[in-house]
Amino acid sequence: MKPQKISDEEFLRLWEEHKSPVKVARLAGISERRVHSRRRSLESKLNLNLLTGKPIHIQKARHEAGLTDGIAIIFSDAHFWPGIRSTAFKGLLWAINELKPHVVIANGDIFDGSSISRHARINWSAVPNVKQELQACQEALKEIEDACEKARHHTQLIWPLGNHDSRFESRLSEAAPQFEGVGGTALKDHFPKWHPCWSCWLSDNVVIKHRYKGGIHATHNNTVNSGVTTITGHLHSLKVTPFGDYNGTRWGVDTGTLAEIDGPQFLDYLEDGPVNWRSGFAVITMKDSKPLWPELVSKYAEGIINFRGQLIDVSKL
């Protein structure tokens, strides 16, 4: 039997109504595999994020940080894992203490959600359960919160949501929709000090969100298409791309990953293949509501970070 043909418009209508690959596949008369393929194709074609389940409960899509002058530290893709404190994570604690930022932004994918991924388990790979992951996230975020409290009172803690973060509520909304609104069924319930949003604007000139454009030229395309300095995670590449036009210079920034690039979160997924990833995070200094040239903090070796031309030992943190 040939698979049923379905227009883009009908597919998007079914997705908007149900937000479930299983339900869309059944109603459209196609396989789940084809649903996921079609979804990825439409996301790329139309520049959409077709999330499964109901979106994570957030009060506002956009958070205005209002940072006229000061420092923001932005990390992403921590994929916090039980028992692991990466070099970049220790470097983040050091940077908070040294730079005393006004804003710290966890730019998506704090939570990995490996045990509730839509992707099939690889071989007999052992992954932590949701409770273990949540505890790892809470412990790591508590260290960050304590460092911020010690360095500067009233640091803004902001959390633009990532695609891995969405797994938590997507799985619950599909499997047990009757529990909507019950305490603990929203991921933000477990990180109460962090303000969730889809994008954070440091000023009218700088936006931070987990992802926008994809591919090797994402940082360039992000700032060209958005018209402002655009800071994203998701691709783990850790780089700064300047772009200039008649309006001056703005930047596309990828904040890398706070995790170790060879960590257990990615071990079986990568099949020991090489990746164009780097472990670290970004520092943005705002002056008169405009960003100075973005700076990167990167892992140099185990327990050592590279920042402003210096190698800094953070192994004891």
pLDDT digits (tens, 9 = 90+) for 277-314: 999 999 999 999 999 999 999 999 999 999 999 999 99
The closest alpha carbon to 296, from 88, 10, 129, 51, belongs to: 88
Of 239, 241, 249, 254, the residue nearest 291 (C-alpha): 249
- Domain coordinates in residue numbering, the chain: 8-46, 62-313
pLDDT digits (tens, 9 = 90+) for 210-220: 999 999 999 99
pTM for this predicted structure? 0.81
Topology of domain 62-313 in CATH is Purple Acid Phosphatase; chain A, domain 2 (3.60.21)
pLDDT per residue as tens digits for the range 26-85: 888 888 778 878 887 777 676 666 766 555 556 678 999 999 999 999 999 999 999 999
Which residues contact residue 247 at a Cβ distance below 8 angstroms, ignoring those fewer than 6 apart?
227
| Contact in structure between 130 and 15 (CB atoms under 8 Å) | no
**Residues pairing with 73 in the sheet:** 104, 283
